[in-house]
Amino acid sequence: MAEDRLRVDKWLFFARITKSRAIAAALANGGRIRVNRVRIDQASKTVRAGDVLTIVHAGRVRVVRVIALGTRRGPAAKAQRLYEDLTLPAAAGTGHPVPPSPAGGGRPTKRERRRIDAWRGQDLRWGGEGKGQG
């Protein structure tokens, strides 16, 4: 019976979704993980094959289905066999309002900086929030 379940923090570490078990435990204890749409607040919550995890980590939402539990933290190729990634890729034009620069593109252009500032709600041409000084 115990072989068909595993603590969520251990599983996240074994599946290489987090770099350490401490980070996985902090995510679970902070309520940043859902198991089958139910928010958890303990790292000791167990997962089984077939469970769907929703993880908010590093500014991203990731949805994975547990396929296998694993017994140790192995190579990345084996770790990827422990889960199926259900995260939807951002549709073209509907994702982030400022498209990322190409890899190695350097600094953003003036147009990109203005879009970033507008997205943040800032208009830096006038020295602060909004259009006026006041």
pLDDT tens per residue, range 14-32? 999 999 999 999 999 999 9
Q: pLDDT of 115-129, one tens digit each?
A: 888 888 766 555 555
Cβ contacts of 23 within 8 Å, gap of 6 or more: none
- The encoded tokens of residue 65 equal 């289905």
- The structure's pTM equals 0.65
Say if residue 66 is exposed, middle or buried (CB neighbours under 10 Å; 0-12, 13-18, 19+). Answer: buried
Task: Give mean pLDDT, residues 6-10.
Answer: 95
- Please write the tens of the pLDDT for every residue from 75-84: 999 999 999 9
Please count the other Cβ atoms lying within 10 Å of the Cβ belonging to residue 44. Answer: 12
Q: Find residue 56's DSSP bridge partners.
A: 61
In the chain, what are the domains? 2-85 (3.10.290.10), 97-126 (no CATH)
